[in-house]
Amino acid sequence: MNVGGNQDGAGRCYLGEHEYTVDNQRRIAIPKTWRHDDPSLNHFFLLPGRDKSLQLVPAVTFQELLVKLRRVSFADSKAAIALATIGSMAQECVCDKQGRIKLSNGLAGHAGIVDKVLMLGAITTIQIWSPEIWKQRRMDSESCLDVIEALQERPDDFTEILRAAGR
């Protein structure tokens, strides 16, 4: 889904749930509805996520994150180690002609992915999970509705509401 008509991916919205088999080269297909018609725009960054998940971030969103990360002082040892840890595991992904990306050994291991993946539209990014781990971590519908209700009542507290929901 492309919200706002942006062709560069800035208005992209990822919705739905898709289960795929991981092939013997650790490749998984990005759902066609999540890919651009222009193959040059099927460019992502794959990062380790919390709770044994992976975050597939569109390149345009990753570029916005880079602007913020460039402001972090390399002299800040804790921040430098965090950036190095994430950077050493992260990978740049461009879809092949079949719309597939390849998972590195490290990222597949981080997420406990062996033969199947669950790709979840997380509105602005795509989350990739082992189906077994997602079953344990997923939030129930009532809790999700509580989060949406809180966001509508206090839209300026968006980040804090989402953090509280995860506790």
Distance between CA atoms of residues 119 and 29, nearest Å: 9
How far from 6 is each of 3, 61, 63, 152, CA to CA, in Å? 7, 13, 16, 25
Write out pLDDT tens, residues 80-95. Answer: 898 999 899 999 999 9
- Check: CB of residue 59 under 8 Å from CB of residue 44: yes
Is 46:93 a contact under the CB 8 Å cutoff?
yes
Q: Roughly what angle, to the nearest 10 degrees, separates helices 158-165 and 141-153?
A: 160
Work out the pLDDT band at 38, boundaries 50, 70, 90.
confident
Tens of pLDDT, residue by residue over 61-79, are 999 989 988 888 888 899 8
